[in-house]
Amino acid sequence: MEKITVMLIDDHRVVRQGLRDFLELQIDIEVVGEAANGEEGVQLARELLPDVVLMDLVMPGIDGVETTRRVKTISPSTRVIVLTSFADNDKVFPAIKAGAISYLLKDISPEDLAHAIRAAQRNEAVLHPEVATKLMQEFSAPRAGEAPVDQLTPREMDVLRLVAKGMSNKEIADKLIISEKTCKTHISNILSKLHLADRTQVAIYALRKRLVPME
């Protein structure tokens, strides 16, 4: 089994140790490195090119937002999961815009954290409910200049709505009675036609266009 490689960036040693102790119990996850601040994290990410980074936001030196931006520049395929104690707007929105795929609070259960890491490896976002609500409120208003939705085929529209509801590729494939490979092709077409980068942006786009209800 090929393990998901994870790197920890947090200025609290006890937090890093607790994360490592739990994650090392997972048969499909391997902690390959840890850093105590953003600068160390950027250098280590350049060396290790991990699959997933668990990123604290408030650290000495460069903060987690700038560290996320630099890590994504070095290794675009690395998925950054913010793991912080703060859900303030001035931290949530910059972190997502910097390239974080998921935004979690440190009160998350260990099992849910492992789920989020596995989801990130599949390029699927996981957001703390409070953060998800903030994103919906911030991004639900339609904006000028976005790619028109009429570029999508009816089947791509079906897939877009299900992606926006948080369904995995397998769940979408099962619901639409298509293969996962076909589902991935549809998602790739959606991202290309709408000039979007990932599933999180698909969900935000769908909310802006009123294609799915705000829950």
Q: What is the CATH number of the domain that holds 28?
A: 3.40.50.2300
Q: Do 81 and 13 lie in a common domain?
A: yes
What is the model's pLDDT at position 215? 46
**Pairwise CA distance, residues 183 & 85, whole Å:** 35
What is the model's pLDDT at position 87? 79
CATH at 145:
1.10.10.10
What average pLDDT values come out for the chain (215 residues) when binned by 10 residues? 94 95 95 96 97 95 93 94 84 85 90 94 84 64 71 94 84 94 95 86 78 61
Q: Do 105 and 187 lie in a common domain?
A: no
Residue 19 domain-assigned (yes or no): yes
Q: Do 61 and 166 lie in a common domain?
A: no
The set of residues, in sequence order, having a beta carbon less than 8 Å from that of 170 and lying 6+ positions away, is: 180
What is the model's pLDDT at position 7? 98
Residue 71 domain-assigned (yes or no): yes
Q: Do 92 and 27 lie in a common domain?
A: yes
C-alpha dist (Å) from residue 64 to 36, 67, 132: 11, 5, 19
160 touches 190 (CB < 8 A): yes
Q: Which residues pair with 6 in a beta bridge?
A: 31, 52
Q: Do 181 and 76 lie in a common domain?
A: no
Domain count, the chain: 2
Please say which residue of 137, 156, 190 terminates a domain. 137
On the CB side of 55, CA atoms within 13 Å amount to: 38
What is the model's pLDDT at position 54? 97
Dihedral-angle region of residue 10 (phi above 0 means left; psi in -120 to 50 means alpha; beta otherwise): beta
Q: Do 10 and 107 lie in a common domain?
A: yes
Please say which residue of 105, 137, 169 terminates a domain. 137
What is the model's pLDDT at position 181? 95
Q: Do 48 and 101 lie in a common domain?
A: yes
Which pair of tokens denotes residue 169?
């590729």
Q: Do 71 and 130 lie in a common domain?
A: yes
At position 131, the amino acid (one-letter code) is V
Please say which residue of 137, 159, 188 terminates a domain. 137
Q: Do 122 and 194 lie in a common domain?
A: no
The neighbour count for residue 35, using CB atoms within 10 Å, is 23
Residue 112 domain-assigned (yes or no): yes
Report residue 199: phi and psi, to 5°: -65, -30
Residue 79 domain-assigned (yes or no): yes
Cα-trace Rg, the chain: 17
Q: Do 118 and 150 lie in a common domain?
A: no
Q: Do 102 and 166 lie in a common domain?
A: no
Q: Do 158 and 202 lie in a common domain?
A: yes
What is the model's pLDDT at position 141? 55
Q: Would you list the DSSP string of 41-75?
A: HHHHHHHH--SEEEE-SS-SSS-HHHHHHHHHHH-
C-alpha dist (Å) from residue 204 to 133, 159, 208: 11, 14, 6
Which pair of tokens denotes residue 203?
């969900």
What is the model's pLDDT at position 19? 95
Residue 51 domain-assigned (yes or no): yes
Give the range of the structural domain holding residue 75, as residue numbers without chain letter.
Answer: 4-137
